Amino acid sequence: MTAPRYGDISITMEGNVAIAEMHRPPHNFFDFELIRDLADAFESLDADAPCRAIVLAAEGKSFCAGADFSRRQTPLTQSSGAQASGNPLYSEAVRLFRCKKPVVAAIQGAAIGGGFGLAMAADFRVVAPEARFAANFVKLGIHPGFALTCTLPRIIGVQKAALMLYTGRRIGGEEALGWGLADLMAPQSELRGAAFKLAAEIAENAPLALLSTRATMRAGLADAVKTQTDIEFKEQSRLIRTEDHREGVKAVAERRPGNFAGK
């Protein structure tokens, strides 16, 4: 059974597992609309009793390569003059974290920047060896976002999170598995099946007990994400106006180290 699409998000039900797939190949760059549509889809699945778990997947080479800095308008520049209440994109991200059903992300390739943050919204990450993760914000001359300053230390510990956030380094699937950033690894050809198998193992359990247990395990997380994204947005709004940010975007596009001046 296939439900109506939510923008670039399709929903397919297989038994008690919903497969939510992003369709922006090859890199699934995110923006306000994508995160809003994903939150809409997840809220709809929350209200759908037969759905007990969700697989979050993506069409194309990358899981989500973050914001497309080759465009003049990105989720950051669109929000640089946003309301005092905060970044609308991050408001949608908080909605995503408030959703109730367990989520297993199938990560076949790059999860970069905000795309990394999206991957961290899931309960579990099943990765291919080709998967790679990077919080490359400092290379772009801006502050980390999409709640990574909250979620990353929660999953891999403060020291490893600081290492990723301070250096912007990229780690592959095997290292992610060793760090606890990923929960399972499967060959590219078997990735979707492995993610579905885990989701089905979750979904076979008593649904009320499952939702109750998940709510306890993630108690306070969405509120913490709200607090942290408010801080992240304030810092990003300040730093996006700097010369270092302009140089960082250019340097990343040209695949070279940035020549930063601290201004």
**What's the pLDDT band for 82 if we cut at 50, 70, 90?**
very low
235 belongs to a structural domain: no
Domains: count for the chain: 1
Return the structure tokens found at 261: 């001046």
Which pLDDT score, from 0 to 100, does residue 74 have?
A: 59
Percent of the chain residues topping a pLDDT of 70: 92
Q: How much is the average pLDDT of 2-18?
A: 90
184 belongs to a structural domain: yes
pLDDT in tens, 141-155: 999 999 999 999 999
Closest C-alpha to 151, from 213, 77, 97, 92: 97
Which pLDDT score, from 0 to 100, does residue 85 have?
A: 54
The DSSP letter of residue 64 is B
CATH number at residue 116: 3.90.226.10
259 belongs to a structural domain: no
**What's the pLDDT band for 3 if we cut at 50, 70, 90?**
low
108 belongs to a structural domain: yes
The DSSP letter of residue 129 is T
239 belongs to a structural domain: no
205 belongs to a structural domain: no
pLDDT at 83 over 60: no
Q: How much is the average pLDDT of 205-224?
A: 98
AA identity, residue 169: R
Question: What count of other Cβ atoms lies within 10 Å of the Cβ of residue 170?
Answer: 15
Which pLDDT score, from 0 to 100, does residue 69 have?
A: 75
pLDDT in tens, 12-56: 999 999 999 999 999 999 999 999 999 999 999 999 999 999 999
167 belongs to a structural domain: yes
Which pLDDT score, from 0 to 100, does residue 231 have?
A: 96
pLDDT in tens, 95-131: 999 999 999 999 999 999 999 999 999 999 999 999 9
Angstrom distance (rounded) from CA 63 to CA 111: 6
CA 101 to chain centre: 16
126 belongs to a structural domain: yes
The DSSP letter of residue 130 is T
Between 77 and 16, the more confident residue is 16
Q: Which residues, in sequence order, are CB contacts of 178 under 8 Å at separation 6+?
A: none
Angstrom distance (rounded) from CA 172 to CA 175: 6
Mean confidence (pLDDT) of the chain: 94
Residue 20 in contact with residue 56, Cβ under 8 Å?
Answer: yes
Give strand pairing partners of 260: none
Closest C-alpha to 17, from 62, 54, 57: 54
Which pLDDT score, from 0 to 100, does residue 81 have?
A: 46
The residue segments making up the domain with residue 57 are 2-188
Which helix (H) or strand (E) segment is 162 a member of? helix 158-167
